[in-house]
Amino acid sequence: MHFYDGHFGGMHIIWWIIWLVFIAWLFFMPFDLPYRKQKKEDPLDILKKRFAKGEISKEEFEEAKKILNSDK
């Protein structure tokens, strides 16, 4: 059985198409994926967000801010 007698001639083209699609996918894949963007939040940023949402009062915010700044 020969591979060039017409029975398997199209497989060569299909493999080239698969490789080209794979390379194009790698090239156009976004580099700012969510798991790369995750950074550790600073405790002060978390405190500011909680204050902005109204979860804590101004007094609680100021007290926690003093505690966080004293650790530095």
pLDDT tens per residue, the chain (72 residues)?
A: 455 555 555 667 888 899 999 988 888 876 666 665 567 788 999 999 999 999 999 999 999 999 988 865
In Å, how far are 25, 27, 63 from 46, measured between CA atoms? 37, 36, 14
Rounded to two decimals, the pTM is 0.45
Instruction: Please report, for the chain, the start and end positions of each structural domain, with discontinuous segments joined by +.
Output: 9-70
- Look at residue 33 in the predicted model and tell me its pLDDT: 61
Nearest Cα neighbor of 61 from 69, 24, 35 is: 69
- pLDDT the model gives residue 15: 83
Distance CA 70, CA 48 (A): 17
Q: Is the dihedral of CA 51, 56, 57, 59 positive or negative?
A: negative
Q: Which two tokens stand for residue 71?
A: 């650790």
Q: How far apart are CA 11 and CA 3, in angstroms?
A: 10
